[in-house]
Each structure stands twice: as structure tokens, then as C-alpha cells.
């Protein structure tokens, strides 16, 4: 048994913890801060609230609120230019995974020349970035504790990550109160994204006792609380448990990686603009059905963790096969799209070959997948997911 472990910087969890950005700004001695966020956070007044805390910490603040749901290299470069021009010495990411991914990329682009596209890959960032603080407002991506920033290149529609230890946040402030503003659809899709992280890390070829511990804790919480958080969004216990689950899922994926579901989901985002959580939720049952025969012990255990039901009287392969059914039921309960045609974004069968090739090009998740997958396998999964 051989494995490494890595955790992001210091994490603060609990209601009201977002206000701690004032003390952190002051403690870091930051004087010029860029706050990376989106229009929704600006419209809700949350961006200005966080900016006011930063000002109380003694710094000037520039708010960049142009992050898209599927963030692009071009938008990231624009945010980085704002930070460079104003000689920013601290980056604060506020929002979902998109805003945090852009913020992490901006932190290293301040100290490294060129476009974000130059650093898409593994370990390509030369210089450490300026300090960065992440404040998630969704419970899903786990971006606040990972070393990845996933961006779309508008030039070719390819989605790729900047993957480098220099992207690990220095501080993360997990404030469940900020997630109460999420509507049911966003709560559901981001929560399913957290599930995809936990389950794929759990069944990854790089999984370890360390990552398994976090993945299991994430799945237990998601199975118990995702429906409550979605349909009773004012339930603070549900919001807390889902934010904790997303955090645990992020730690698991940062240490074990993800699998084929993520690879297959990338073309949906890159080619058709499908939100990442929606794409993962839709494809996950089909990928689990494909994988479960190759790693039945883990999928059988995952089914128990998610459902709260013991499968001890079932055969191992029956219990493993039930995992996809548990997830399908979850998707239906959350009223998320369960087939590609329901996305209504123009996906047709003639696209499957190109989508499969792009999915196979997302090499690290494919290499992590417990069952080897070919282009033909990818096409078949898309075909199954179509109807």
C-alpha cells in the first residue's frame, strides 16, 4: 500500500465564518484585493458584503463579477488583467466552483505571464501565486480545497484544467448561511456534483484509506440530506451537512481524482454549455452501471452509504448493481434531467463520436476509472443516456 496525502490550507466552517475574511486580509497584510465572483452574487448583495469585510481589513477592493456558469479561459484572462493592472496582492473567490476556479487561476496568473490556456495541464505553473481565500456559496464542487481550475477554451470548445499544487487555496471559509440563497435546481445539481466527486474518488484507481474516509463521510451525508436541502432550503441543518459533504468530497477528489463520469461530462459543458453538476448527475447512473462489475465491493458499499439500507442478504454483484438504481432514484427525486434529450440543447446522435473522442482526451479521469473505457464504450453510454 502506497499513497500520498494533501490538504489545502486552513479551513473555517460554520455560520457567519465568511466575516473572517476581514481578519485574514488584515493578517496577510494585503492592501490591494481582487474579488472574483458572478452577477448573481453581485445582485444579491453578497459580493458587496464580502468586499466591505475586506475593506474593514484595511485593503482596497476591485470586484470582478463576470464569471460565467461554465468559466472560460478568456474570462479568466480578463480577471487576471484587472488584478495585474492594480497590483493585487490577494485574491478572494466568492461563489460556486466557477468563481473559485477562476479566482485560483487568477492568483497564479498575477505572478506568471501569459494566458490561462498556457497552464492547462499538470504541473505547468512555475511561480507561486499571491495568497487566495475561497468563500463557497454552493455545496458541490469542493473547489475550495482542490488544486484544479477547470476552464473552457472558446477557440475549440475544449474543457481543460490547470492542475497544480500552487492552486491550493490558502484559506477557505465555509459559511452554510451563504448557501440558503440557492434555488432548488442549483442545490440539487451542485449536490449531485459533490456525489460524483465522492463516488468517483471512492472507486478511483488512486483511492487510499485516507481518501476513502472522506468519500464515505460525504456519501452518507448526501444520501441523507440532499433531498431535504433541495426541497426545504431553509433547513439549516441540511445546508450545513451538504456543505460539509461537498468539502469532504473535495478532499477525496484532491487526493484520489475522479473517473469517467467527469470525462464524459466535459464535452457536454464544452460543446453545449451544460452546467457541470447537471452533466454529472445525468451521466453518473450510466457510468456506475458500466463500472460496478469491475469493483463490486466499493459500489455495493456505496449503495448502502447512499440509501441507508443494508444489502447483506444480496449477492455482491446484485448489491453493486443496485448502486446505479439508488442514484437514478435520487436524480428523479431532485427533478434533474435523466436523459440527454431532456437537456434540450441540441445534442444528437451524430455528435456522439466527437463527444467520445473529447471524453477520451480527458486522460487523467479516464486512467483513474476502475474499468477501462474505449471510444466505443463512451458512445454506447451516450446512446444509453439519450433515451
Tell me the per-residue pLDDT of 56-109, one tens digit each, with 9 for 90 and over.
Answer: 999 999 999 999 988 999 999 999 999 999 999 999 999 999 999 999 999 999
The residue to which cell 490591494 is assigned: 32
Would you state the pLDDT for residue 285? Answer: 97
What is the CB-side half-sphere exposure of residue 146 using CA atoms within 13 A?
32
Would you state the pLDDT for residue 370? Answer: 96
Q: Is the pLDDT of residue 52 over 80?
A: yes
- Fold topology of 184-386: Dehydroquinate synthase-like, alpha domain (1.20.1090)
Q: Is the pLDDT of residue 4 over 90?
A: no
- For residues 77 and 116, the answer to whether their CB atoms sit within 8 Å is yes
Cβ atoms within 10 Å of 160's Cβ, excluding its own = 21
Region label for 143, one of left (φ > 0), alpha (ψ between -120 and 50) or beta (otherwise): alpha
Would you state the pLDDT for residue 164? Answer: 94
Would you state the pLDDT for residue 7? Answer: 74
What's the mean pLDDT in 124-146? Answer: 95
Q: Which helix (H) or strand (E) holds 91?
A: strand 90-95
Could you tell me the three cell numbers for 19?
466575516
From the candidate CATH numbers 3.40.50.300, 3.40.50.970, 3.40.50.1970, 3.40.50.150, the one assigned to the domain spanning 10-179: 3.40.50.1970
Could you tell me the three cell numbers for 26?
488584515
Q: Is the pLDDT of residue 157 over 80?
A: no
Would you state the pLDDT for residue 3? Answer: 74
pLDDT-derived band at 352 (thresholds 50, 70, 90) equals: very high
C-alpha separations of 74 from 40, 78, 229 in Å: 20, 6, 34
Q: What are the tens digits of pLDDT across the range 110-130?
A: 999 999 999 999 999 999 999
Give the integer Cα–Cα distance in Å for 319 and 297. 9
* All CATH 1.20.1090.10 domain ranges in the chain, comma separated: 184-386
What's the mean pLDDT in 295-309? Answer: 96
Residues contacting residue 172 through CB under 8 Å, at least 6 positions apart? 8, 9, 10, 11, 12, 133, 134, 135, 136, 144, 145, 247
Give the integer Cα–Cα distance in Å for 37 and 69. 11
- For residues 386 and 340, the answer to whether their CB atoms sit within 8 Å is yes
Phi, psi at 215, each rounded to 5°? -65, -45
Q: Is the pLDDT of residue 311 over 90?
A: no
Would you state the pLDDT for residue 159? Answer: 79
pLDDT-derived band at 154 (thresholds 50, 70, 90) equals: confident
- For residues 255 and 208, the answer to whether their CB atoms sit within 8 Å is yes
Q: How are strands ordered across the β-sheet holding 10-13?
A: 10-13, 171-174, 132-136, 90-95, 32-36, 60-64
Q: What are the tens digits of pLDDT across the range 240-296?
A: 999 999 999 999 999 999 999 999 999 998 899 899 999 999 999 999 999 999 999
pLDDT-derived band at 170 (thresholds 50, 70, 90) equals: very high
- For residues 230 and 336, the answer to whether their CB atoms sit within 8 Å is no
Could you tell me the three cell numbers for 172?
477557505
* All CATH 3.40.50.1970 domain ranges in the chain, comma separated: 10-179
Q: Is the pLDDT of residue 18 over 80?
A: yes
Phi, psi at 344, each rounded to 5°? 55, 50
- Report the predicted TM-score, pTM, of the whole model to 2 decimal places: 0.92
Amino acid at each position: 500500500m502506497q499513497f500520498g496525502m494533501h490538504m489545502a490550507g486552513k479551513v473555517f466552517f460554520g455560520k457567519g465564518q465568511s466575516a473572517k475574511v476581514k481578519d485574514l486580509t488584515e493578517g496577510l497584510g494585503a492592501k490591494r484585493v481582487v474579488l472574483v465572483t458572478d452577477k448573481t452574487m453581485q445582485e444579491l448583495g453578497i459580493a458587496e458584503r464580502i468586499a466591505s469585510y475586506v475593506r474593514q481589513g484595511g485593503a482596497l477592493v476591485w470586484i470582478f463579477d463576470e464569471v460565467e456558469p461554465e468559466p472560460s479561459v478568456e474570462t479568466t484572462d480578463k480577471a487576471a488583467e484587472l488584478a495585474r493592472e492594480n497590483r493585487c496582492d490577494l485574491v478572494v473567490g466568492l461563489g460556486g466552483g466557477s468563481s473559485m476556479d477562476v479566482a485560483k487561476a487568477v492568483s497564479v496568473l498575477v505572478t506568471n505571464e501569459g494566458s490561462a490556456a498556457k497552464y492547462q495541464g499538470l504541473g505547468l505553473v512555475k511561480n507561486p501565486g499571491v495568497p487566495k481565500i475561497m468563500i463557497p456559496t454552493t455545496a458541490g464542487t469542493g473547489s475550495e480545497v482542490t488544486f484544479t481550475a477547470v476552464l473552457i477554451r472558446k477557440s475549440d470548445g475544449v474543457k481543460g484544467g490547470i492542475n497544480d499544487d500552487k492552486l491550493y487555496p490558502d484559506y477557505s471559509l465555509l459559511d452554510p448561511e451563504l448557501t440558503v440563497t440557492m434555488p432548488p435546481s442549483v442545490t440539487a445539481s451542485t449536490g449531485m456534483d459533490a456525489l460524483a466527486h465522492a463516488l468517483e474518488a471512492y472507486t478511483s484507481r488512486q483511492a487510499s484509506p485516507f481518501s476513502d474516509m472522506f468519500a464515505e463521510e460525504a456519501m452518507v451525508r448526501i444520501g441523507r440530506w440532499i433531498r431535504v436541502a433541495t426541497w426545504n432550503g431553509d433547513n439549516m441543518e441540511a445546508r450545513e451537512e451538504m456543505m460539509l459533504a461537498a468539502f469532504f468530497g473535495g478532499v477525496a477528489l484532491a487526493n484520489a481524482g475522479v473517473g469517467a463520469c467527469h470525462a464524459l461530462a466535459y464535452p457536454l459543458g464544452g460543446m453545449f454549455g451544460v452546467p457541470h453538476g447537471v452533466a454529472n448527475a445525468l451521466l453518473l447512473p450510466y457510468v456506475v452501471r458500466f463500472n460496478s462489475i469491475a469493483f463490486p465491493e466499493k459500489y455495493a458499499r456505496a449503495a448502502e452509504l447512499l440509501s441507508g439500507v443494508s444489502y447483506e442478504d444480496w449477492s455482491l454483484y446484485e448489491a453493486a448493481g443496485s448502486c446505479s438504481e439508488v442514484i437514478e432514484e435520487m436524480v428523479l427525486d431532485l427533478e434533474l434531467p435523466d436523459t440527454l434529450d431532456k437537456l434540450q440543447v441540441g445534442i444528437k446522435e451524430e455528435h456522439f463520436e466527437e463527444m467520445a473522442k473529447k471524453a477520451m482526451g480527458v486522460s487523467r479521469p479516464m486512467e483513474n476509472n476502475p474499468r477501462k473505457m474505449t471510444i466505443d464504450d463512451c458512445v454506447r453510454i451516450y446512446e444509453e443516456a439519450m433515451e
